[in-house]
Structure 1
């Protein structure tokens, strides 16, 4: 079940702490801004499933020291956004992203704009840019993008998901008993576990919606254009290697644009918040600035070593 937007009868706008959309929704807005006159670039960061805009706090504080203004809003159904726990639909998440980009273009007409998406946020960006070009985007950064499509899942998993979504869409799942590690930053994970803004009980219909989004993102590997940086942790236990590697091979097989893939041997799913996250932050800044042909960490060379034998 999808809980879409209402009529677009309003003028979208940004306030100090809200992104007010054209349909009247108020999405909590998190901002990390350099000193006046120091902004060299603008970055829109989209959070992952069950997370919210504050996920970007640490990298945001680092990036503003590099002259990069950062904006992250709570996507519908997450954090403090309306209809918490409910899935708004792929087209709605894409429309909200496009609206945010348009507002930031008006505010920063002379600065390049970048998009960054973590996990689900990455899937939203992939799907958005694969459908209709978004003019004015200098580049996109995908951090552990959610690419676990149905065609890469075992049949019993997809069958159970379909059955639950069409019979008990309101049923909530906690993930209790599932032993996966999202990061090596245990203190951060414990804080998330206590954070009331992070969703702990997930409706089946939301999981079904996320899977639809991952299907769309996975199938659009060949349609993703523009300067792109994709980051993946080799210890990622949330998004499996097989669908990720499959997507990357198809993505890299299409010529054109600047494409960089980086694999981090010590990295987990929450790369931006891992214990070694500063390495990733530095790579992102270097890539945005076009400082060198290779990333400072060498993670792009590591990815090339792993992906080449697979092709």
Structure 2
């Protein structure tokens, strides 16, 4: 009996130690304090602390809906150029896409800003859009990591939006050994970078788009280890906290996605509550808005918003 108690104590200690290592190795800044009113100015989004983030806008003359869009990991607002221009021209939907902190033209390129800061910027962008278009329905849209940020934010408290559009959402409870290894490595060498070339995974079947992204200087090509830890935490939060969401949701995923596990996306979709519309594309890859069949996705988004 004593031996069993000793084994139980050792097992409990190991679990506590693992939990500590997973949560405490790498820390990120807290959300910034609010000091200014968020606003859109030309190609700049001014967030709550006065930080000037990159912004791209595609505005319809008389918009019937507004979308605030968040890009995926290592990407930036240009990710929505195709669909947003099409929505504005064909469906009177205006889109405001921001470069999240650490990405694109925003401050501290390549450095992870922290989940709470990303959430604060999302809420600020929605507030700026609501202030600019007070009588027009407003939607929060995210691709991959951006969708993960939206889920994590909505799980904390409801967003000021009529609905959520989640495309190839970054939702994944990465196995503990991998998270532990990343935490430890990032603790000692946070600035070490990874390229992902050895992963041998394809993001889309649109090869010209892949070449364009590879040549774009605003795309992050080498990811810092601490940023890997940061995005892993966002994905974990989105995966585990999705059950707290009760909203109108359009959930999009491609069956050929090689970046986010299909079972993780499916399980997350099943946890959502509210008016959830699920769209699954047999020929869809991770870059749903840029794939060769992407116009199907664009049409589905426009139809859902107009409904």
Q: TM-score scaled to structure 2, two decimals?
A: 0.88
Aligned to 1:144: 168
**Whole-Å Cα distance in 2 between the matches of residues 284 and 165 of structure 1?**
38
User: Aligned match of 1:42 in 61, 66, 69?
Assistant: 66
CA separation in 2, counterparts of 1:269 and 1:226? 24
> 1:170-211 CA deviation, whole Å, 9 max, x = no partner?
111111222101000000000000000000011000010111
What pairs with 1:157-168 in structure 2 (closer than 5 Å)? 157-168=178-189
Show structure 2 runs of 5+ residues with no match. Answer: 1-26
The alignment covers a number of residue pairs equal to 280
Quote the offset at 1:9 in angstroms.
2.9
Structure 1 unmatched runs, 5+: 291-311
- Say what the alpha-carbon RMSD is for the aligned residues: 1.3
**Deviation (angstroms), 1:161:** 1.1
Counterpart position of 1:105: 130
CA distance in 2, matches of 1:22, 1:157: 35
SS at match of 1:44: strand
In 2, the alpha carbon distance for the partners of 1:27 and 1:190 equals: 26
- 1:16-165 matches, cutoff 5 A: 16-35=42-61, 38-65=62-89, 66-135=91-160, 137-150=161-174, 153=175, 155-165=176-186
Judge which range, 4-13 or 232-241, deviates more. Answer: 4-13
Matched, 1:242 2:266: no
How far off is 1:11 after superposition? 3.2
Q: CA deviation at 1:42?
A: 0.3
TM-superposed CA distance for 1:74, in Å, is 0.3
1:133-212 equivalent positions in 2, closer than 5 A: 133-135=158-160, 137-150=161-174, 153=175, 155-212=176-233
Cα deviation code 1:222-243 (max 9, x no counterpart) = 1111100100000000001121
Structure 1 stretch displaced more, 47-56 or 215-224: 215-224
Distance (Å, rounded) in 1 between the aligned partners of 2:306 and 2:107 = 36
- Which structure: larger Rg? 2
